[in-house]
Structure 1
Amino acid sequence: MIAIVRSDLYRSVSIRSSWLALIGFAFMAALFGWFSKEAWSLFAGIGAFGIAVIVTSQHYQHRTAVLVFLSHPHRWKVLIGQCAVAAVLGTTLAAVSGVAVLLDESAAHYASTVLVAPVMAVFGALCTTVVRHPMWLLGGLFAWLLFAEGLINRMDIGLPFASFAMASAGNTRALLFLLAWTAAAVPVAVWAIRRDLAGD
């Protein structure tokens, strides 16, 4: 499993789209951090989810998933490795993009967001294992945020991104909701990673 994590981390920093996405998401979150720590938290969560989607989906886009699964026949180990890489990148994104919040003497808010960011990144990796198409997921993310979480739920607790935003402010109940969403995605992702790659 360490070999999977090492190779995925190397691939993530060596492929241009990965580090451009990491820089882009971090810049966007940092930009919102100058205006509001709550806005930074939300966009750090979106960025952690987004970078996980991009990094995980590259295996399917570039057809390297076949080689990975041939060299590691236990696909659940590959899934754990991908989740670990997503967590590292999501934490890095949140930590780097939140410097403005940290300098604004909001150290507790900064720390709680950085601690919750890996959960959102793992959720993103699990969702990507199911859907496998980054444009569908990222397009669906914005539609989900606008309609399901924004208009219908009014960014209240219960749905994943609103729960992330509240958990990053220290709300323990919201963190439990986010963990529940992530846990619910695990069995679906374990099933999905066993699917045939021919249709992708």
Structure 2
Amino acid sequence: MIAVVRSELYRSVSIMSSWLAMIGFAFMAALFGWFSKEAWSLFAGLGAFGIAVTVTAQHYQHRTIVQVLLNQPHRWRVLIAQCFSAAVLGTALTAVSGVAVLLGESAAHYRSTVLVAPVMAVFGTLCTVVVRHPMWLLGGVFAWLLFAEGLINRMAIGLPFASFAMASAGNTKALLVLLAWTAAAVPVAVWAIHRDVAAD
């Protein structure tokens, strides 16, 4: 299991597109952090989700998932390793991008956002294992965030990204909602990782 996690982390940080995605997401989150700590939290959550999508989907794009699954027949171990790798990268991205918030004497908000970021990264990995195509997923998330969470739900508690934004401000109920969304995605992802990968 440790070897699978180490392999996932090494692969994630050794591909140029991973670094470009991390820098891009971190820059966007940091930029919004100069204006508002709440805006930083939301974009940090989107960044953690986005980097998870990027590093997980690379396996399917580059066809390396076949070799990984041949070397590790227990696919649930691969899923756990991918979630752990994404959580580490999402947490690092959030921690680096929030320096402006930390310097602005919002240490409690910074700390709670960094602590919640791994949950959003794991949620992103689970969603990617189901969808497998990053552009479809990121486009769908953009539409979901704009219409379902923004226009219809008005960023109220109950949906994942709004719940992340509220949980990052210390709202325990919102954190439980985000954990519930992540837990609900687990059985779907476990089913999805056992699908045939040759057809993708």
Q: Which residue of 2 aligns with 1:4?
A: 4
How many angstroms apart in 2 are the aligned matches of 1:157 and 1:20? 32
Shift of 1:199: 1.7
Q: Which residue of 2 aligns with 1:44?
A: 44
What amino acid maps onto 2:35 in structure 1? F
How many angstroms apart in 1 are the aligned matches of 2:27 and 2:69? 34
Query: Any gaps of 5 or more consecutive residues in structure 2?
Result: none
How many angstroms apart in 2 are the aligned matches of 1:69 and 1:10? 17
TM-score (norm 2): 0.99
Shift of 1:73: 0.1
Shift of 1:13: 1.4
The equivalences for 1:92-171 within 5 A come to 92-171=92-171
What amino acid maps onto 2:32 in structure 1? F
Q: CA RMSD in A?
A: 0.5
Q: Which residue of 2 aligns with 1:188?
A: 188
What amino acid maps onto 1:5 in structure 2? V
Shift of 1:41: 0.1
How many angstroms apart in 2 are the aligned matches of 1:141 and 1:160? 11
The equivalences for 1:1-80 within 5 A come to 1-80=1-80
Query: CA-to-partner distance for each residue in 1:49-106, whole Å, 9 max, x for gaps?
Result: 0000000011110000000000000000000000000000010010000000000000
How many angstroms apart in 1 are the aligned matches of 2:43 and 2:116? 13
What amino acid maps onto 1:57 in structure 2? A
Q: Which residue of 2 aligns with 1:90?
A: 90
Query: CA-to-partner distance for each residue in 1:111-165, whole Å, 9 max, x for gaps?
Result: 0000000000000000000000000011111101100000000000000000000
Query: Any gaps of 5 or more consecutive residues in structure 1?
Result: none
Secondary structure of 2:154's partner? coil
How many angstroms apart in 1 are the aligned matches of 2:172 and 2:74? 35
What amino acid maps onto 1:141 in structure 2? V
Query: CA-to-partner distance for each residue in 1:7-44, whole Å, 9 max, x for gaps?
Result: 11111111111110001000000000000000000000
Shift of 1:169: 0.1
Secondary structure of 1:92's partner? helix
Secondary structure of 1:147's partner? helix
**Structure 1 residue runs of 4 or more that deviate by more than 6 Å after TM superposition:** none
Percent identity over paired residues: 86
Shift of 1:109: 0.1
What amino acid maps onto 1:19 in structure 2? W
How many angstroms apart in 2 are the aligned matches of 1:156 and 1:45? 16
How many angstroms apart in 2 are the aligned matches of 1:59 and 1:4? 14
How many angstroms apart in 2 are the aligned matches of 1:59 and 1:3? 17
How many angstroms apart in 1 are the aligned matches of 2:197 and 2:105? 49
How many angstroms apart in 1 are the aligned matches of 2:21 and 2:4? 21
Secondary structure of 1:12's partner? helix
What amino acid maps onto 2:113 in structure 1? T
How many angstroms apart in 1 are the aligned matches of 2:53 and 2:150? 21
